[in-house]
Amino acid sequence: MKLISVNITTYNRSHLLARCLDSVLSQSYKNIEVVIVDDCSTDETTQIVKSYSDKDDRVKYIKHELNKGNAGSRNTAMDHCSGFYVAFMDDDDEWIDIHKLQKQVDLFEGSTGKLGMICTSVRLMDQNKNTRDKLIVKPDNVKSMILKGNGYIYSPTVFTSKKVMDEVGGFDLTLPRGIDSDFYRVAIVKLNYDIIFMKDITTLIHEYGNDRITPTDSANAFCKDIIGNRICLEKFKDEFKVFWREKYYRKANILFRFCKNIIKFREKRLFIEMYKLLKS
């Protein structure tokens, strides 16, 4: 039975972390290590994690002395995990299928192709606690899908191997947004790894609250979006020569949003970043 590292990054979400950890430690596949990277939290995160690690030696805790951001935290988790397989998990979500890991191990070990990742379908919850199921079906062209954006791969469902993570080289520290999608994009587009899309609903994704996800309705968030898109176009410029429709889809999408919010966000830096993006 191969060891699975469940990598969790967290920052000031002690009130959410216990729910996440309970769902991870309840998995039927027991040969796991839970690698928690705390990005310099100032709340009760340390005490919450200690209450788990005192009872379960599978829980490992690393705390940053300085805040390193999402990519830096994910890279720390990668550096400290020792599993053959790696599962990603977010501190504000939970696994609702106790056999999630076992199912993904079985698929990985039964694969004969160049399999890099497995993701699953999800249950989405809004701020009123209403849920809807999102069934993930493999698109006809995975490379086209991931170059256009994402919308298919939810990080807390992703299951991969340490070998794949090492080949990708971890998470891009230059990106202000879209860090996870960039990781998948490198694996799929540059390294030609295949991905399995499971129809099983294994994960509950909580889509509400500014303490859960990065706000998207601010000028700062929108600026990060523009910069992230420009970095993506530069990083995959050779691939976009072939997938040129996807390149213009990205530009048109961000330009539409820019025009839609031009009155709301009247900041000079947005115009500068938008100009750089359109030139790329």
Per-residue model confidence as pLDDT tens digits over 18-34: 999 999 999 999 999 99
Average pLDDT over residues 118-135: 96
pLDDT at 216 (0 to 100):
54
% residues pLDDT > 90 (the chain):
86
Q: How many Å apart are CA 273 and CA 243, to the nearest integer? A: 23
pLDDT tens for each residue of 201-234? 999 999 876 554 444 568 888 899 999 999 999 9
Fold classification of 4-206 is Spore Coat Polysaccharide Biosynthesis Protein SpsA; Chain A (3.90.550)
pLDDT in tens, 150-182: 989 999 999 999 999 999 999 999 999 999 999
Averaged pLDDT score across all residues of the chain = 94
pTM over the 0.85 mark: yes
Contact 85, 2 (CB under 8 A): yes
Per-domain boundaries in the chain: 4-206, 219-279
Q: What is the pLDDT of residues 90-100, one digit of tens each?
A: 999 999 999 99
Q: How far apart are CA 36 and CA 39, in angstroms?
A: 10
